[in-house]
Amino acid sequence: MIEFVVDANPNKQNKWLPASHIPVVNEDYLKENKPDFVIILPWNLKEEITSQLSYIKDWGGKFVITVPELQVI
């Protein structure tokens, strides 16, 4: 269900997540594909990530946080 993971660390980009084989891409890929929802997996960085990626709201995208409870913002 998860098509790709975005990571700012260039050492992690163009690789795959272990076991799931989900590709790890850079932020430009996110901008090109304009997903409807962006799941924030590191919930403790929610504020930083939503601020950094605030431009997704320009195309109507929403953030999804699953911990401590499911939120769509």
**Domains of the chain, earliest start first:** 1-33 (no CATH), 36-73 (3.40.50.720)
Alpha carbon distance 57, 39 (integer Å): 14
3-state secondary structure of 62: strand
Please report, as a single letter, which amino acid is at residue 1. M
Which pLDDT does position 72 carry in this prediction?
Answer: 97
**For range 11-28, the mean pLDDT:** 96
Would you place residue 66 in the very low, low, confident or very high pLDDT band (cuts 50, 70, 90)?
Answer: very high
**For range 2-30, the mean pLDDT:** 96
The enclosing H or E element of 16 equals: strand 15-16
The enclosing H or E element of 6 equals: strand 5-6
